[in-house]
Amino acid sequence: MVIYSIQTLLLLGAQLVLSIPNNFFYHDFLNENGKKEIHFSGVNLHVDSAQLSVFAVAGANATMPCRFWYEPELSSPRKVRVKWSWLPAAGGHETDVLVAIGSRSQRFGEFRGRVQLRQDFPGDAALVMTNLMLNESGRYRCEVVDGLEDRSTSIYLELRGVVFPYQHPRGHYHLSFLGGLRACEEQDSTPATFTQLFQSWKEGLNWCNAGWLADGTVQYPITRPRVPCGGHDLAPGVRSYGRRNLHLHRYDVFCFSSSLRGKVYYLQPSHKMNLTEAQQACQEDGAEVAKVGQLYAAWKLTGLDRCDAGWLADGSVRYPITRPRINCGPSEPGVRSFGFPPPQHKHGVYCYKSGDE
Ligand SMILES: *[C@@H]1O[C@H](CO)[C@@H](O)[C@H](O)[C@H]1NC(C)=O
Ligand SMILES: *[C@@H]1O[C@H](CO)[C@@H](O)[C@H](O)[C@H]1NC(C)=O
Ligand SMILES: *[C@@H]1O[C@H](CO)[C@@H](O)[C@H](O)[C@H]1NC(C)=O
pLDDT of residue 36: 36
Output the CA 303–ligand 1 centroid distance in Å: 24
Mean pLDDT of 110-128: 95
**Per-residue confidence (pLDDT) for residue 22, from 0 to 100:** 38
Q: How many CA atoms lie within 13 A of 179 on its CB side?
A: 20
Q: Which of 274, 317, 340, 347 to mutate to test the pocket of ligand 3 (most atoms within 8 A of CB)?
A: 274
In this prediction, residue 334 carries a pLDDT of: 94
pLDDT of residue 269: 79
In CATH terms, the fold of domain 262-354 is Mannose-Binding Protein A; Chain A (3.10.100)
Contacts of 132 (CB under 8 A, 6+ apart): 56, 57, 58, 59, 60, 61, 62, 157, 159
Total number of residues shown for the chain:
357
DSSP code for 104 = E
Q: How would you label 315-344 residue by residue, b for 16+ Cβ within 10 Å and e otherwise?
A: ebbbbbbeeeeeeebeeebbbebeebbeee
The confidence band for 259, taking pLDDT boundaries of 50, 70 and 90, is confident
Asked if residue 260 has pLDDT above 90, the reply is no
Tell me, what's the pLDDT at 40?
58
Instruction: Give pLDDT, residue 292.
Output: 97
Task: Give domain limits for the chain.
Answer: 21-35+43-159, 162-257, 262-354
| One-letter amino acid for residue 300 of the chain | K
Mean pLDDT value across residues 98-122: 94
Second-level CATH architecture of 162-257:
Roll (3.10)
Which H or E element spans position 182? helix 177-186
Q: Whose CA is nearest to atom 5 of ligand 3?
A: 277
Round to whole Å and give the CA distance between 70 and 84.
20
Q: What is the pLDDT of residues 166-188, one digit of tens each?
A: 999 999 999 999 999 999 999 99
Q: What is the pLDDT at residue 226? A: 74
181, 191 contact by CB (below 8 A): yes
- Nearest residue to 185 (alpha-carbon basis) of 302, 294, 320: 294
Give the tens place of pLDDT for each residue, 315-328.
999 999 999 999 99
Which option is the CATH number for 21-35+43-159: 2.60.40.10, 3.30.70.260, 3.20.20.70, 2.60.40.650? 2.60.40.10
Q: Is the CB of 8 under 6 A from ligand 1?
A: no
Instruction: Report phi then psi at 214, rounded to 5.
Output: -60, -25
60 lines ligand 1 (CB under 6 A): yes
Residue 157 buriedness (CB in 10 A; 0-12 / 13-18 / 19+): buried
How far does the centroid of ligand 3 lie from the alpha carbon of residue 291, in Å?
21
pLDDT digits (tens, 9 = 90+) for 12-65: 333 333 333 333 444 344 444 433 334 455 788 999 999 999 999 999 999 999
Q: Using 50, 70 and 90 to split pLDDT, how confident is the model at 5?
A: very low
Contact indicator for 184, 255 with CB cutoff of 8 Å: yes
Average pLDDT over residues 279-300: 96
DSSP-derived letter for residue 74 is P
Q: What average pLDDT does range 256-285 have in this prediction?
A: 92
Q: Does 262-354 match 162-257 at the fold level?
A: yes
Does 186 contact ligand 2 (Cβ within 6 A)? no
- Span from the CA of 117 to the centroid of ligand 1 (angstroms): 15
What's the confidence (pLDDT) of residue 7? 38
Q: For 138-152, what is the mean pLDDT?
A: 93
- The residue that leads in pLDDT, 230 or 346, is 346
pLDDT for 149 equals 87
Ligand 2 pocket test: pick from 95, 97, 129, 135 the residue with the most ligand atoms within 8 Å of its Cβ.
135
Q: How close is the Cα of 267 to the center of ligand 3, in Å?
A: 18
329 CA from centroid of ligand 3 (Å): 29
CA distance 12 to 6: 10
Nearest alpha-carbon partner for 56 in 127, 160, 154: 160
Q: What is the pLDDT of residue 355?
A: 74
Handedness of CA 192, 195, 198, 204 (dihedral sign): negative
| Percent of the chain surpassing pLDDT 90 | 72
